[in-house]
Structures are given as structure tokens and as C-alpha cells.
């Protein structure tokens, strides 16, 4: 026990680095989640159908957001390891590649939302009122997608080079503007027209445009490592693209398959009734707030582990991972307890039917119970395995547990057996518990330490014995 305590607590520098990186990222995630909360609270004042419509319409945004996170997460693996070596040229090439891929993805989603919003809404619900409201929202909010893509790439590039503060400032300004415009455009306040659900979409587009312009101005004005000329950004040689494909494609596939799998759950809940999907939307909104600390720690660990692997200090990378796996679940327990205690106050913000209120009350409890487990997996998969370059194993574990277990069980329980909401939710979260059982031995083995290379040079991977701490 003394040895474990000494290993976990003996490096004050670790905690300083974790806090300096994780807190700004967590704050930025909180701001992003608050933006979603503001949308839902204000739209929720229009009634259950409007709340359900925006919640389902934002599933497309969620899918794109996670896909972009997959791209920028792959980017972070490269940038953090290159930053450990102070390889500015590699950082800019990685940023340029992420920019091209992210912009391509976002334009595909933009076109889908503009051309076929009704079709997209009918994938989730047959309620004509919900389909109509959701399609109107989707069509109006779609121009925000490409701007969100550019913003996320440069946010990731700045954070991975230890500039986590400026993204927080620009995100805060974006949230403030979005809140003011929401209030004005949804309800016709402040001299603005009352556009209802469509007003929330217009507010999001304007806020995203301002946020994108601000972060680009900062990155290039401060000559950040990720902000290069077009020639520097798109100097994508064959060796670099080959290495990028080896490391980043599994991350993108991982996130794409993960988001498609999680998008299956709203399809199940929506067919259990409009009241249920409205309750699920409330849980998802609150969960984004509750999970921000885990997001901050997980992304900070990606950078911290990646920098150590890039610098060749594998032992320190392992110790950073071990400490983070211990801290993350503990840090989220107070958040989970607060979520349980504040359920009546949370639900007071929404205009709900009694059935929807009862469902949301239950789901907020269940979501809190699973939160520490999800935090552990966030740190292990996104922070440690990806930061160390072990993206193929992380991908395989997530896809197999989600698509092989959680999705089939949720569909069977919700649509075939018609089991209660309690059972359906727990089965939909079953993959989280399986990932703990599979992912922990992988971390302890040390086989996840795999340094990336920019031009085809051999990248060494130390054995578990070399990587793991001794004594």
C-alpha cells in the first residue's frame, strides 16, 4: 500500500501539469455543454414536442461532433508527441491534414441537413409535429457545421501545444452571444423577431461564426505552432500520410462507429414514446455538464502521455497514466452525487408531462451511477491508449463492446421484449463495464506505448517490463 501511495502521490509536477491542462479543457467543455443546455432550456419552454424535436435534430450535430473529435483526437496524438520533440513542421502538417478531413466531413453533414432534413428526422421518430419542428431546426443550423469543424481543429492544436487558455476565452464569448441571441430569437425579445425553434438554430450559427473568427485571429496573430501557411499546413508527404493513416484512421473509425452505435439508442428510446425521448434529451443535456471534468482529464492525459512518449520517457508516460486512472473516477463521484441531489431543481427548468418527468427523474439517477465508470474509460481509452499511440486496440475494444453487446441488447430490450426504461438504459451502458475489464489489463501490460514517426523512421516500443514502474 505504501508503494502504491508513493507511486501515485510522489510527483507534484504531474498534478501541476494535469491541472494546468485539464481545467481549461474542462471549462471549455462546460461552456460547450452549457450552450446545449441553454438551447434546451429555452426551447423547452415551447413544450415537450419542441424539446424532443431539437434533441433528435441535434443527434446529427452529435454525430458530427464525435466524428470531428475522432479527427482531432488523432491530431492530438501526433501534435502532443511532436510537441515533446519540438517538431513544429510535423505539428503543422498534422493540423493541415485534420483541417482537410474535418472540413470534408462537415460539408457532407451540411449538405445532408440542407437537402433532406425531413428524411433525417424520420430516422428517429414518426411523430409529424416533432419531424416538422426538427427539420426546420436542422435546415437552419446546418451552416454552423463547417465553422465548428475549423474551430475544433485549431482548439485541438492549441491545447496540444499547451495553450489551453485562449480556446476557453473564445468559447465563453460564443456562449454569451448564443445565450443572448437565443433569448431574443426564440421568444421575440430585445427587439428581435420571434422565430421559435428556428431562432435557436440561427443563434447557434451566428455564435459559431464569431467563435471561429476569433480563434483563427488568435492562432495566427500569436504565431502558434499549429498556425502555418498553406504550404506548411498541406506539405503532406507520402511517408507522413502513411503514418497518419496508421495512427489516425483507427481513431476516426473508432469514433465514427461509436457515434453511430450511440445514435442507435435514441432510435430505440424514440420508439418507446415522445415522453421517453424528451426525458433522454434532458439526461444527455445534463450528462454533458456532468462529464466535463472527465473530458478535461482525458484530453489532458492524451497530451501529457503523448509528450512523454514523444520525448522517449516511457516510464513517466506509464506513471502519468496510472495516476490519472486513479484520479478520474474519484473526481467525478461528487459530480454524480450532485446530479442525484439536484434532480428536482434540474427538472424545474423544463415544461414536461408527468410521464416524461418521472422518466427523466429515473434516468438522471442511472446516469449518475454510471458516470465514474465512464470517466475511467475516458482516461484509459482517449487519454492513455490513444496518447501512447495504441489506437488499433482502443478501436477494436470500443467497437466490439458497443456493437457486439450494448446495441443488440438495447434493441432487444426496448423494441422486442418491451422491457422497462430502467433495464433498457442499463443494457445500453453495458459496454462501459466491459471496457473496464478489457482495457485495464492492456494498460498494465505497457504494450500501448507506441511512438509515432513523421517520415518512416523506425518507432520503438518498449516492453511492458521496461514501461511499467519498478520498486
In this structure, of 8-12, 98-102, 204-208, 293-297, the range with the lowest mean pLDDT score is 8-12
pLDDT at 87: 86
In sequence order, the 6+-apart residues with CB closer than 8 A to the CB of 396 are none
pLDDT at 461: 38
CA distance 69 to 230: 23
In this structure, of 71-75, 111-115, 332-336, 438-442, the range with the lowest mean pLDDT score is 71-75
Q: How many CB atoms lie within 10 A of CB 444?
A: 16
pLDDT at 471: 35
In sequence order, the 6+-apart residues with CB closer than 8 A to the CB of 266 are 55, 56, 59, 124, 277, 280
* Selected residue with higher pLDDT from 457 and 378: 378
Mean pLDDT of 390-395: 92
pLDDT at 62: 78
CA distance 139 to 227: 32
Mean pLDDT of 6-15: 67
Whether residue 173 has pLDDT greater than 80: yes
CA dihedral sign, ordered 217, 175, 369, 422: negative
Q: What percent of the chain has pLDDT over 90?
A: 42
pLDDT at 353: 84
Confidence of residue 340 (pLDDT cuts 50, 70, 90): very high
Confidence of residue 10 (pLDDT cuts 50, 70, 90): low
pLDDT at 3: 56
Mean pLDDT of 455-462: 38
Whether residue 189 has pLDDT greater than 50: yes
Q: What percent of the chain has pLDDT over 70?
A: 93
CA distance 218 to 211: 11
Mean pLDDT of 421-433: 94
Summarised one tens digit per residue, pLDDT across range 37-50 is 677 777 877 777 88
Confidence of residue 432 (pLDDT cuts 50, 70, 90): very high
In this structure, of 236-245, 450-459, 462-471, the range with the lowest mean pLDDT score is 462-471
Confidence of residue 285 (pLDDT cuts 50, 70, 90): confident
Mean pLDDT of 238-242: 84
In this structure, of 67-76, 99-108, 228-237, 284-293, the range with the lowest mean pLDDT score is 67-76
Contact assessment for residue 170 and residue 208, using Cβ atoms and an 8 Å cutoff? no
Supply angle C-alpha 15, 21, 23, rounded to 5: 90
Q: How many CB atoms lie within 10 A of CB 81?
A: 32
Confidence of residue 460 (pLDDT cuts 50, 70, 90): very low
Mean pLDDT of 141-162: 92
Of the candidates 316, 431, 337, 435, the residue with the CA atom closest to the CA atom of residue 379 = 435
Whether residue 218 has pLDDT greater than 60: yes
E strand or H helix at 296, and its extent?
Answer: helix 292-310
CA distance 444 to 321: 10
Whether residue 327 has pLDDT greater than 70: yes
Whether residue 242 has pLDDT greater than 80: yes
pLDDT at 463: 36
CA distance 389 to 469: 19
pLDDT at 79: 85
pTM score, two decimals?
A: 0.76
Confidence of residue 212 (pLDDT cuts 50, 70, 90): very high
pLDDT at 2: 52
CA distance 133 to 113: 13
The chain-wide mean pLDDT, for the chain, equals 86
In sequence order, the 6+-apart residues with CB closer than 8 A to the CB of 236 are 93, 96, 97
Amino acid at each position: 500500500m505504501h508503494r502504491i501511495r508513493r507511486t501515485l502521490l510522489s510527483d507534484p509536477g504531474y498534478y501541476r501539469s494535469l491541472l494546468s491542462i485539464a481545467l481549461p479543457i474542462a471549462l471549455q467543455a462546460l461552456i460547450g455543454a452549457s450552450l446545449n443546455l441553454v438551447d434546451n432550456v429555452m426551447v423547452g419552454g415551447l413544450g415537450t414536442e419542441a424539446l424532443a424535436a431539437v434533441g433528435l435534430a441535434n443527434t446529427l450535430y452529435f454525430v458530427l461532433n464525435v466524428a470531428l473529435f475522432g479527427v482531432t483526437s488523432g491530431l492530438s496524438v501526433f501534435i502532443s508527441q511532436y510537441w515533446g520533440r519540438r517538431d513544429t513542421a510535423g505539428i503543422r502538417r498534422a493540423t493541415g491534414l485534420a483541417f482537410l478531413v474535418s472540413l470534408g466531413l462537415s460539408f457532407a453533414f451540411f449538405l445532408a441537413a440542407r437537402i433532406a432534413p425531413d428524411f433525417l428526422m424520420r430516422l428517429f421518430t414518426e411523430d409529424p409535429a416533432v419531424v416538422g419542428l426538427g427539420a426546420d431546426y436542422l435546415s437552419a443550423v446546418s451552416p454552423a457545421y463547417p465553422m465548428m469543424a475549423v474551430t475544433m481543429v485549431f482548439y485541438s492544436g492549441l491545447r496540444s501545444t499547451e495553450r489551453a487558455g485562449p480556446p476557453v476565452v473564445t468559447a465563453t464569448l460564443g456562449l454569451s452571444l448564443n445565450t443572448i441571441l437565443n433569448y431574443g430569437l426564440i421568444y421575440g425579445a430585445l427587439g428581435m423577431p420571434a422565430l421559435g425553434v428556428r431562432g435557436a438554430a440561427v443563434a447557434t450559427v451566428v455564435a459559431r461564426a464569431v467563435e471561429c473568427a476569433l480563434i483563427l485571429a488568435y492562432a495566427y496573430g500569436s504565431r502558434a505552432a499549429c498556425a502555418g501557411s498553406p504550404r506548411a499546413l498541406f506539405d503532406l508527404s507520402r511517408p507522413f500520410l502513411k503514418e497518419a493513416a496508421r495512427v489516425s484512421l483507427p481513431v476516426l473509425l473508432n469514433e465514427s462507429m461509436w457515434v453511430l452505435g450511440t445514435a442507435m439508442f435514441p432510435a430505440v428510446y424514440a420508439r418507446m414514446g415522445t415522453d421517453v425521448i424528451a426525458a433522454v434529451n434532458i439526461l444527455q443535456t445534463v450528462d454533458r455538464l456532468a462529464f466535463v471534468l472527465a473530458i478535461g482529464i482525458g484530453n489532458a492525459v492524451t497530451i501529457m502521455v503523448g509528450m512523454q512518449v514523444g520525448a522517449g520517457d516511457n516510464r513517466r508516460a506509464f506513471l502519468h497514466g496510472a495516476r490519472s486512472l486513479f484520479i478520474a473516477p474519484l473526481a467525478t463521484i461528487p459530480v454524480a452525487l450532485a446530479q442525484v441531489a439536484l434532480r428536482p431543481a434540474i427538472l424545474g427548468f423544463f415544461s414536461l408531462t408527468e410521464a416524461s418527468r418521472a422518466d427523466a427523474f429515473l434516468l438522471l439517477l442511472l446516469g449518475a451511477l454510471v458516470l465514474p465508470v465512464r470517466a475511467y474509460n475516458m482516461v484509459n481509452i482517449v487519454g492513455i491508449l490513444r496518447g501512447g499511440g495504441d489506437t488499433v486496440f482502443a478501436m477494436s475494444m470500443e467497437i466490439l463492446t458497443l456493437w457486439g453487446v450494448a446495441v443488440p441488447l438495447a434493441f432487444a430490450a426496448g423494441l422486442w421484449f418491451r422491457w422497462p426504461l430502467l433495464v433498457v438504459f442499463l443494457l445500453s451502458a453495458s459496454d462501459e463495464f466491459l471496457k473496464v475489464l478489457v482495457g485495464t489489463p492492456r494498460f498494465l501490460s505497457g504494450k500501448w506505448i507506441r511512438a509515432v514517426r513523421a517520415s518512416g523512421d523506425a518507432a520503438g516500443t518498449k516492453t511492458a517490463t521496461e514501461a511499467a514502474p519498478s520498486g
